[in-house]
Amino acid sequence: MEKPAIEGGSPVRDTKLFYGHQYIDEEDIAAVTAVLRSDFLTCGPEITKLEDRLCALTGAKHAVAVSNGTAALHIACQAAGIGEGDEVVTTPITFAASANCALYCGARPVFADIDPDTYNIDPAKVEEKITEATKAVVAVDYTGQAADLDPLLSLCRARGIVLIEDGAHSIGTRYKGRPVGSIADMTTFSFHPVKTVTGGEGGAVLTDDDELYERLSLLRAHGITRKESLLRHPSHGGWYYEQLALGMNYRMTDMQAALISSQLNKLERFCARRREIVERYNEAFGRLPQIRVQKEIAASDTARHLYLLRLVPERLRIGRKEFFDAMAAENICCNVHYIPVYYHPYYEELGYQRGICPIAEKLYEEIMSLPLYYGLSDKDVGDVICAVEKLCAYYGK
């Protein structure tokens, strides 16, 4: 049975509000149904159209559309030549996929702590973790704010390390005026339904590097090519292809690609509305001593994916779990992004222990993600604020 809301059991709203939700309009539906009536459901023209679109949006030279963001990270690591015995430095405050991509390749993820204000991976901590075995850094644009890419790039360039930017949260974000996707050696996107732009599932890798692009294209589809310039043997005829590497089937369907392209038509609107909601939250929560507002990164012109409500434990009589449950009792269903990756039993079994990244671990104890998506009405946003204010007044000290 659900717990009643505080103060006489009357929640701030009657219907549940979830932390994320896709926005699909008639144009999106028409784009997908047009594909269903066409000749190609996969490997068709919508894929190239989307890839060209992503290049135009980000300024990257190449884009490779894939089935999801995890696949994008996997082939990015493979294309970077990561293998057995290598190390990949990443943040613990991320979805497990940002570290799993190293494990898929037989490499070891190494966790570097986060900046206490921006919550993105701290370049100084990354430097401390670099060894002879480090082959890549996976920097996550957490909540949509760009990681501190300039110092990370200098670190990586000086040592021949590949910088992979996990931009699952940050499509539309600019770092020092440059769009995410055009800065790191490779940038990956996710088009999962809670992200700013969705294809149901979907992902992409962006790069300026021609060789990485060739490898990514091969790895997406079984390692198979029909490109004459890449064939090792004379062609046997019009049907001929060769497998040059052990790739996967990570192809995106044309239905996904058409939906993502249609969603990209609304990207500016999506980002602007998210920004508006973030500003309303920041303004309201900036007044509450029980809440610590996430610092806006000056270098990042952010398209925000997540809004973090960070509690100040010293000013509250209840902990994060109780606050989270109390929000649910108000019909505001939050989430927590993220459990530090190395807390997961799978990572424990690999020998990771708690205490590696104390700043990240403390952050995890104090946060929850509030509803943030394009379709939230002003009243919805008001209800969220009202619930937080109500709980802070009731449980504050």
Binding test (CB under 6 A) with ligand PLP, winner from 22, 31, 54, 68: 68
| Residue 3 CB, nearest approach to ligand PLP (Å) | 28
Does 69 participate in binding ligand PLP (rule CB under 6 A)? yes
Q: Which amino acid is at 329?
A: A
Does 166 participate in binding ligand PLP (rule CB under 6 A)? yes
Annotate 32-59 with three-state secondary structure.
HHHHHCCCCCECCHHHHHHHHHHHHHHC
Name the residue nearer to ligand PLP (CB basis): 143 or 182: 143
Binding test (CB under 6 A) with ligand PLP, winner from 98, 143, 253, 302: 98
How many binding residues for ligand PLP (CB under 6 A)? 14
| Residue 166 CB, nearest approach to ligand PLP (Å) | 5
Binding test (CB under 6 A) with ligand PLP, winner from 140, 308, 309, 329: 140
Annotate the chain with three-state secondary structure.
CCCCCHHHHCCCCCCCECCCCCCCCHHHHHHHHHHHCCCCCECCHHHHHHHHHHHHHHCCCEEEEECCHHHHHHHHHHHCCCCCCCEEEECCCCCCHHHHHHHHCCCEEEECCECCCCCCECHHHHHHHCCCCEEEEEEECHHHCCCCHHHHHHHHHHHCCEEEEECCCCCCCEECCEECCCCCCEEEEECCCCCCCCCCCCEEEEECCHHHHHHHHHHHECCEECCHHHCCCCCCCCCCCEECCCCCECCCEHHHHHHHHHHHCCHHHHHHHHHHHHHHHHHHHCCCCCEECCCCCCCEECCCCCEEEEECHHHECCCHHHHHHHHHHCCECCECCCCCHHHCHHHHHCCCCCCCCHHHHHHHHHEEEECCCCCCCHHHHHHHHHHHHHHHHHHEC
- Asked, as a colleague might, if the bond just before 346 is cis with ω within 30 of 0, I would say no
The CB-nearest residue to ligand PLP is: 69
* Positions in 303-342 near ligand PLP (CB under 6 A): none
Name the residue nearer to ligand PLP (CB basis): 256 or 261: 256
Does 190 participate in binding ligand PLP (rule CB under 6 A)? yes
Q: Segment contacting ligand PLP (CB under 6 A): 66-74, 225-233, 318-326, 377-385?
A: 66-74
| Residue 215 CB, nearest approach to ligand PLP (Å) | 20
| Residue 192 CB, nearest approach to ligand PLP (Å) | 4
Does 95 participate in binding ligand PLP (rule CB under 6 A)? yes
197 close to 270: Cβ distance less than 8 angstroms: yes
Does 65 participate in binding ligand PLP (rule CB under 6 A)? no
Name the residue nearer to ligand PLP (CB basis): 123 or 167: 167
Does 173 participate in binding ligand PLP (rule CB under 6 A)? no
Does 168 participate in binding ligand PLP (rule CB under 6 A)? yes
Q: Segment contacting ligand PLP (CB under 6 A): 49-57, 95-103, 205-213, 290-298?
A: 95-103
Binding test (CB under 6 A) with ligand PLP, winner from 90, 91, 94, 145: 94
The interface mask with ligand PLP, positions 192-211, x = CB under 6 A, is: x----------x--------
Q: Segment contacting ligand PLP (CB under 6 A): 14-22, 85-93, 164-172, 282-290?
A: 164-172
Name the residue nearer to ligand PLP (CB basis): 67 or 261: 67
Say which residues have a Cβ less than 8 Å from residue 378's Cβ, sequence separation at least 6. none
Does 70 participate in binding ligand PLP (rule CB under 6 A)? yes
First to last CA, the chain: 29
Name the residue nearer to ligand PLP (CB basis): 130 or 147: 147
| Residue 77 CB, nearest approach to ligand PLP (Å) | 12
Q: Segment contacting ligand PLP (CB under 6 A): 91-99, 124-132, 231-239, 365-373?
A: 91-99
Alpha carbons 90 and 382: distance in angstroms, whole number: 36
- Which residues sit at the interface with ligand PLP, rule CB under 6 A? 68-70, 94-95, 97-98, 140, 166, 168-169, 190, 192, 203
